[in-house]
Amino acid sequence: MDTVTTVSGGSGLVSGPTRLLIDGQWVNAASGKTFETRNPATGEILADVAEGDAEDVNRAVAAARRAFKGSWSRVKPNERQMILLRLADLVERHFDDLALLDTLDMGAPLSRTRAGRQRVLGMLRYYAGMATALHGETIENSLPGDIFSYTLKEPVGVVGAIIPWNGPLSASVWKIGPALATGCTVILKPAEEAPLTPLRLGELCLEAGVPPGVVNIVPGFGETAGAALAAHPDVDKVAFTGSHVTGQKIVQASAGNLKRVSLELGGKSPDIVFADADLEAAVPGAGMAVFANSGQICSAGTRLFVEQKIYDEFTDRVAKYGSNLRVGDGRDPDVQVGPLVSAEQLERVTGYLAIGKQEGARPLAGGTRLIDGKLAQGYFVPPTVFAGVRDDMRIAQEEIFGPVISAIPFTDIEEVIERGNATTFGLGSGVWTKDVSKAHKLAKAIRAGSVWVNCYQAMDPAVPFGGYKMSGYGRESGLQHLEEYLNVKAVWIRTA
């Protein structure tokens, strides 16, 4: 069937099967294999998806290379801009169905996936605007004689984009958008846990006028399709979002042709609350810094540092806040916390709940899997707050990727700076205070790519996002993001 995904208004389920998008055509996997994707809230099978592997990656890379060297190389910046604007209009028109697909496939509540409208459309239109704003420079050099020098900005080439399952629509746009804006071609490898929205976005790309081979989508498993894409000798760049363990493997695989790599990896972000903070804002802010998307956010503020003098009061309030959040099937508009994405993720998170208790941490809220009524069919863990956490505990050092807060007391600013930075990660961080001097001091001292002051997870297409240390390198959003997809060429001309 040519229509890849269809959302039924009655049942909310997806009809399939789904196939690969290669060279502008919907095709079966070369092996003929498929895999199931399920609704994590109910365990229901949503669709059978074509399982791409190395042979399919080869086909997609060849198509992307042909397009890059052929017709796409002659498309002018304003034409790329118009394609992106048409895509944005199509995404806006179909956004409710796309949000529902995200909810069905990876579990995030509709209250969250629908709230992503401004961000997704903003990214597409930002990249569209930048398509005509990229340029080189004329540079005065100091060589003797009449030699003129300038730079050109040129697309890096064929991009392999590997995305996670925790935000399929926005992650797809974050990779496809800059590729189209800069004149690159792209092979998108969605996560096997949530491939449906990226495939639907592929349909909209074709409808928007993206030429064959410019956007290719190959769902499959990381060990096969993902590994083949990372190591492929005709891929010029890999843009990866996911775990630091997989990121390390991608760096190793990229060595064959020294392809460019950008990595947006995991985190164990400190969220620091001072006694002078506005607690009415800080309690829900610190709670949703972790409970949003069931904690499946790389920059979640999972290490909650609270000044000693308000530690008991604040942790109790955050625990009560989390306990009052409604957990359930994300299709219910009143649900605030959905399921974890898979049985594997459920096992990981519940394993850390057990580890936290064994290490001596006290669960003030949550702490066990939810199995009441219909929740037993899905992968539900309630908002959990551990008190009595020490810096050396595994729940304070390792990324859990679940709705789990490790609350840690501190006494002064110098101490919390040192302890907040005592992690191998450096993606996000938060500071809650009314004291502007504290805010500026922490913003400069914290070794992380983002510092949110009296807010958390604020994002904008024009503002760069990325990490320090094991949280990766390169940036997404902003001008720095587009630079990741461009080569700089120096040109020298003797004019005399």
Residue 106 backbone zone (phi > 0: left; psi -120 to 50: alpha; other: beta): alpha
Is 298 one of the annotated active-site residues of the chain? yes
CA distance 22 to 10: 31
Q: Within a 10 A sphere around the Cβ of 447, how many other Cβ atoms?
A: 17
CA distance 148 to 139: 8
CA distance 265 to 427: 8
**3-state DSSP of the chain:** CCCCCEECCCCCCEECCECEEECCEEECCCCCCEEEEECCCCCCEEEEEECECHHHHHHHHHHHHHHHHCHHHHCCHHHHHHHHHHHHHHHHHCHHHHHHHHHHHHCCCHHHHHHHHHHHHHHHHHHHHHHCCCCCCEECCCCCCCEEEEEEEEECCEEEEECCCCCHHHHHHHHHHHHHHHCCEEEEECCCCCCHHHHHHHHHHHHHCCCCCCEEECCECHHHHHHHHHHCCCCCEEEEECCHHHHHHHHHHHHHCCCEEEEECCCCCEEEECCCCCHHHHHHHHHHHHHHHHHCCCCCCCEEEEEHHHHHHHHHHHHHHHHCCCECCCCCCCCCECCCCCHHHHHHHHHHHHHHHHCCCEEEECCCCCCCHHHHHCCCCCCEEEECCCCCCHHHHCCCCCCEEEEEEECCHHHHHHHHCCCCCCCCCEEECCCHHHHHHHHHHCCCCCCEECCCCCCCCCCCECCCHHHCCCCECHHHHHHCCEEEEEEEEECC
Closest alpha carbon to 264 in 289, 286, 288, 238 = 238
Answer for the pair 432, 282: CB distance below 8 angstroms, yes or no: yes
Out of 192, 193, 203, 264, the active site residue is 264
Answer for the pair 274, 432: CB distance below 8 angstroms, yes or no: yes
HSE value, Cβ hemisphere, 13 Å, CA-based, for 47: 28
CA 20 to chain CA centroid, nearest Å: 22
Answer for the pair 156, 493: CB distance below 8 angstroms, yes or no: no
Out of 298, 307, 483, 484, the active site residue is 298
Question: Which residues have a catalytic role annotated?
Answer: 264, 298
